[in-house]
Amino acid sequence: MSSTLSPETQVALAPSAEQFARAGAHLVARALSELAHEELVRPESDADGHQLRLGEVTYTFAAERDAFTAWHVDAASVRRDGVPATDPVRFFLDARHVAGFDAVTLSEIVTEATRTWAAEARCLAASRPVTELLELSYAELEQHLPGHPVLVLNKGRIGLDADDLDRFGPEARRTVTLVWYAAHPDLATYAAEHGLDLGRLLAEELTDEERTTFEAALAAAGAGSCDWVWFPVHPFQDKTVVRTLFAPELAAGRLVRLGEGVTDYRPVQSVRSLVGEAHRDVKTSLLMRNTLVWRGLGADATEAAPLASEWLGRLHAEDPELQATGIAFLREVATVVVRHPHFRDVPDAPYRYAELLGAVWREPVERQLAPGERARSLATLLYVDPGGHALVAELVRRSGLDARAWLRHLCDAMLPGLLLCLTRHGVAFCPHGENTILVFEGALPTRILLKDFAEDITLLPGRDYPGLDPVAEKVLVRWPLAEMAHSIISAVFTGHFRYLAPLMRQHAGLAEDAFWAEVRASLLAWRAAHPELAEAFDELGLLAPHYERIALNREQLTGGGFHDRAERDAEPDQMHGHIPNPLHVGEEA
């Protein structure tokens, strides 16, 4: 890990009181907006504006309602009993009885809200103008983003202490080196796409000097001649899990510490996903809870990931039209799973204990780019710098097009590939802002890359998928097509475009009805060009009068994101009522 702190990092690690107040006001406005949208609280409106009465306390604020009737609260306008509201923790305490938080849940909320507030202040302290951010690499830019747009408590990172956050939090803008271990083959499993054995992977990911050092460490430990499984461990997981919960295996010599690697990796928004220059990305297990779930690696899904990725690669290679959309998959080419010898005998234990140790190697973004192309996650389009400049508006300006024409390029880059996968192939992903990577030529998005498949591929029930290995087929989730449609409805339309539309109105001059009309026109044009898939398209319900309202904050704040359970995703995301669909009423273009 880099030992010298840049001036930017030093500032980020010590935000001022003023930056904390600004970050707090922003979070109060987000909490008001999202809790009102999910009807955990119910503001009232009159000629003087909007009010939310929470017991003896009243919040007043200015806000707009979007095409989904969701709230967008102006942070500078929020007052708590007439005083600027800059304390998001106090807001949740005020909302306790109205929202129905019990004492245990409220304590978890206070913890995550405080930690998110601190991280938000750090982001603000070291923020940079959008003109500078657009020149950064994919991984560097990811370290500047504010996190999940829907979930208010999106940077709680329960489990990491202050030193961990200083070292491993993306907003610290530092790099991380990994600790390497070797596990006895009765403890660990290596899985990979065909032709990528462990020896080849290690030759490609480690230097000759690293391999020599690690081989010497293994020999010094008295390791036998069996095929030891080498794998990297995040430094946090090393001190928190390996040297504690795997202490008997270390003592018995069934787990051997090989040493620290030399490659510098950048942690991106999920913290556990790491990007190293000229290397495959690595995703590691972390005993950290953030945005509803613990961030380990599910053993069965991780072990099956290379088989699922390889199948996706064949599906892509055998469909010329899918290739022509420009969509590509960042395949998870190899994995290691280390199962705890005791927790493996407790199948109904909280799921985090089944996800303690493992690694995933994923194809890196940069190897997918042609000369002149640049990659940025979909999430970057929602970034607004402290000067009030929106990144998407700067892209529109640089493109030389009007905002609606630029949006047309975005829809053409994103939607055709996702629609083909859903309707023709019966395959859905989770293409939210972090998992969808836009590829740009100049300032125009031209195609997308998708990532995260081990636990986020969804298939249709009862359908046969030729070539899919039974091991992978067993662990992949199956939902009806109407449920699978949420891979676009929730991840893209209500989970991202819901924020992008007002942003483009405010900063790029594109009216919201014109925004949704353009998206609808893109969908209808695709349907018209694929009459053989029109019935499957209609079944998705993308143009229906209403959508089910995804209520992620309701799920988190009413206990679903805090309580232990044996299954990470016991059921689909929580729904709460319905919202109007602007794609149903938008003008046809």
DSSP 175-230: -B--EEEEE-TTTEEEEESTT--HHHHHHHHS-HHHHHHHHHHHHHTT--SS--EE
- Left if phi > 0, otherwise alpha if psi is -120 to 50, otherwise beta: which for 160? beta
Domain harbouring 404, CATH code = 1.10.510.40
C-alpha angle 3/8/13, rounded to 5°? 75
DSSP line for 243-263: HHHTHHHHHHTSEEEEEE---
Does one domain contain both 260 and 322?
A: yes
Q: What is the pLDDT of residue 476?
A: 93
Does one domain contain both 187 and 234?
A: yes
The answer as to whether 135 is a domain residue is no
Number of folded domains in the chain? 3
Instruction: Please determine, for residue 256, whether its predicted confidence score (pLDDT) is greater than 50.
Output: yes
Does one domain contain both 207 and 109?
A: no
Q: What is the pLDDT of residue 573?
A: 72
Q: What is the pLDDT of residue 2?
A: 46
Answer whether 574's CB lies under 8 Å from 560's CB: yes
Q: What is the pLDDT of residue 575?
A: 87
Summarize pLDDT for 67-122 with one digit per residue, the tens: 999 999 999 999 999 999 999 999 999 999 999 999 999 999 999 999 999 999 99
Q: What is the pLDDT of residue 453?
A: 86
Instruction: Please determine, for residue 125, whether its predicted confidence score (pLDDT) is greater than 60.
Output: yes
Q: What is the pLDDT of residue 586?
A: 44
**Which DSSP category does 365 fall into?**
S
Nearest alpha carbon to residue 429 among 455, 395, 398: 455
Q: Which residue has the tokens 């009993």?
A: 81
Q: What is the pLDDT of residue 99?
A: 96
Domain final position from 334, 362, 390: 362
Question: How far is 205 from 362, CA to CA, in rounded Å?
Answer: 12
How distant is the alpha carbon of residue 246 from its chain centre?
29
C-alpha angle 533/436/155, rounded to 5°? 135
Contacts 24+ apart (CB under 8 A), 247-252: 248/341, 249/183, 249/187, 249/341
* Amino acid sitting at position 412: D
> Using CB atoms within 10 A of its CB, is residue 524 exposed (0-12), middle (13-18) or buried (19+)?
middle
Structure tokens at 322: 């899918």
Does one domain contain both 114 and 163?
A: yes
The answer as to whether 2 is a domain residue is no
- Left if phi > 0, otherwise alpha if psi is -120 to 50, otherwise beta: which for 195? left
Nearest alpha carbon to residue 500 among 153, 238, 149, 209: 149
Mean pLDDT (the chain) is 94
The answer as to whether 143 is a domain residue is no
Domain harbouring 44, CATH code = 3.30.310.280
Q: What is the pLDDT of residue 517?
A: 97
Does one domain contain both 508 and 549?
A: yes
Summarize pLDDT for 537-565 with one digit per residue, the tens: 999 999 999 999 999 999 999 866 677 77
Q: Which residues neighbour 173 within 8 Å (Cβ) at sequence distance 6 or greater?
A: 6, 8, 9, 12, 126, 140, 143, 144
> Using CB atoms within 10 A of its CB, is residue 169 exposed (0-12), middle (13-18) or buried (19+)?
buried
pLDDT-above-70 percentage for the chain: 96
Predicted model pTM: 0.95
Q: What is the pLDDT of residue 454?
A: 73
Question: How far is 34 from 66, CA to CA, in rounded Å?
Answer: 12
Quickly state the pLDDT bin for 455 (edges 50, 70, 90).
confident
Tell me the residue range of the domain where 214 lies.
179-362
